[in-house]
Amino acid sequence: MSPQPLTAPAIRRRYALVNFLVWLPSALAMAPMVLLMTSRGLGIGEGAMLSPEIM
């Protein structure tokens, strides 16, 4: 049995899954940092300049 060729929707789903999994750790780390910095009175732009993760 040979594998069947991938269809366009299957390729899009795989791409979306890989893209999601690549960005997930960064997003999970960034969300609490934004909340913490805004609770301390910093704007998002000021917090971006201070955060070592983004650089």
pLDDT at position 55 is 45
Contact indicator for 52, 38 with CB cutoff of 8 Å: no
Residue from 36, 52, 28, 23 nearest 44 by CA: 36
DSSP 28-45: HHHHHHHHHHHHTT--HH
Q: Is 2 part of any domain?
A: no
pLDDT for 1 equals 61
Q: How many domains does the chain have?
A: 1
The answer to whether residue 3 sits within a structural domain is no
How do residues 34-53 score in pLDDT, each as one tens digit? 888 888 888 877 777 776 65
Q: What span, in angstroms and rounded, lies between the C-alpha atoms of 10 and 15?
A: 9
**Domain that includes residue 15, residue range:** 9-50
Q: Is residue 4 part of a domain?
A: no
Instruction: Give the model confidence (pLDDT) of 6-34 as tens digits.
Output: 999 999 999 999 999 999 998 888 888 88
pTM of the predicted structure, to 2 decimals:
0.57
Both tokens of 35, joined, read 């909340």
Q: Does residue 1 sit within a domain?
A: no
